[in-house]
């Protein structure tokens, strides 16, 4: 899997160097909202009407009483517009982090489980108005494939012993999450090309 990711990253970076169509490249910014990444933001460089590259960041942050969950993922994406229009295909890599925290309101003791994984991302979507520069809007669907998930548990009281059954259950659940693929749907993305 690591060889495949290295090959993909090399392909991603080298293909952006060989864009040959005449087009003055432009930088852009965008924000979006979706599920599960409720807030999304990014910067991009549009090489021409076919190719673009972007750096993005997605975040989900939920709190319920004394428990909280935060899912974040920075990403690097390469986009190809096969028809030089709104429709595009994308591929990239990211680094996903899931952090779940629970706090006992009486004692103030807390425990945190953090799962880190490398992700491979496949995306398809539409960016209407991007060919004209200026403001554009769009939507997309991503298939996120994490791998190499690692789980770490910390506590402000020293934590649970690693032989504890609850500790082992959390490690197993975290490791499973770090290997489970899922879909992200961006319901709306707004951007501007300078």
- For 130-154, how does the pLDDT look when each residue is reduced to its tens digit (9 = 90+)? 888 899 999 999 999 999 989 998 8
Q: What stretch of H or E contains 83?
A: none
Instruction: Report the pLDDT value the prediction gives residue 166, as an integer from 0 to 100.
Output: 72
* 31 within 8 A of 190, measured Cβ to Cβ: yes
CA distance readout (Å), 74 to 54, 65, 121, 171: 11, 27, 11, 23
Greatest mean pLDDT range, 20-24, 151-155, 189-193: 189-193
Instruction: Report the pLDDT value the prediction gives residue 53, as an integer from 0 to 100.
Output: 97
Q: Three-class SS of residue 50?
A: coil
The per-residue pLDDT of the chain, averaged, comes to 86
pLDDT (tens digit, 9 = 90+) per residue, 52-106?
Answer: 999 999 999 999 888 899 999 999 999 999 999 999 999 999 999 999 988 877 7
* 99 closest CA partner among 54, 35, 55, 150: 150
In the predicted model, what is the mean pLDDT of residues 121-131? 94
The per-residue b/e assignment along 137-167, b for 16 or more CB within 10 angstroms, e otherwise, is bbebebebbbbebebebeeeeeeeeeeeeeb
Instruction: Report the pLDDT value the prediction gives residue 120, as an integer from 0 to 100.
Output: 97
Is residue 14 scored above 60 in pLDDT? Answer: no
What whole-number percentage of the chain has pLDDT above 90?
A: 60
For the chain, domain boundaries: 2-17+26-193
Q: Which CATH class is domain 2-17+26-193?
A: mainly beta
Is residue 17 scored above 70 in pLDDT? Answer: no
Tell which phi-psi region holds residue 170, choosing left (phi > 0), alpha (psi between -120 and 50) or beta: alpha
- Could you give the CA distance from residue 71 to residue 38 in angstroms, rounded to a whole number? 10
Instruction: Report the pLDDT value the prediction gives residue 5, as an integer from 0 to 100.
Output: 54
What whole-number percentage of the chain has pLDDT above 70?
A: 84
| Burial environment of residue 32 by CB neighbours within 10 A (0 to 12, 13 to 18, 19 or more) | buried
* pTM of the predicted protein model: 0.81
- Could you give the CA distance from residue 37 to residue 150 in angstroms, rounded to a whole number? 21
Instruction: Report the pLDDT value the prediction gives residue 66, as an integer from 0 to 100.
Output: 82
| Token pair in block for residue 163 | 């032989």
- Could you give the CA distance from residue 41 to residue 32 in angstroms, rounded to a whole number? 6
Is residue 3 scored above 60 in pLDDT? Answer: no
């Amino acid at each position: 899997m690591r060889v495949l990711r290295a090959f993909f990253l090399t392909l991603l970076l080298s293909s952006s160097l060989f864009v040959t169509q005449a087009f003055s490249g432009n930088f852009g910014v965008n924000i979006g909202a979706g599920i599960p990444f409720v807030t999304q933001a990014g910067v991009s460089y549009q090489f021409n009407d076919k190719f673009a590259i972007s750096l993005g960041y997605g975040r989900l942050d939920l709190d319920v009483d004394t428990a909280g969950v935060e899912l974040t993922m920075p990403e690097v994406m390469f986009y190809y517009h096969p028809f030089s229009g709104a429709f595009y295909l994308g591929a990239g890599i990211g680094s996903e982090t899931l952090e779940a925290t629970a706090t006992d309101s009486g004692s103030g003791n807390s425990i945190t489980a953090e799962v880190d994984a490398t992700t491979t991302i496949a995306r398809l979507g539409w960016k209407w108005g991007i060919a004209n520069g200026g403001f554009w809007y769009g939507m997309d669907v991503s298939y996120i494939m994490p791998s190499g998930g690692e789980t770490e548990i910390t506590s402000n009281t020293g934590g649970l012993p690693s032989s504890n059954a609850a500790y082992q259950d959390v490690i197993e659940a975290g490791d499973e999450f770090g290997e489970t693929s899922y879909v992200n749907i961006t319901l709306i993305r707004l951007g501007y090309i300078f």
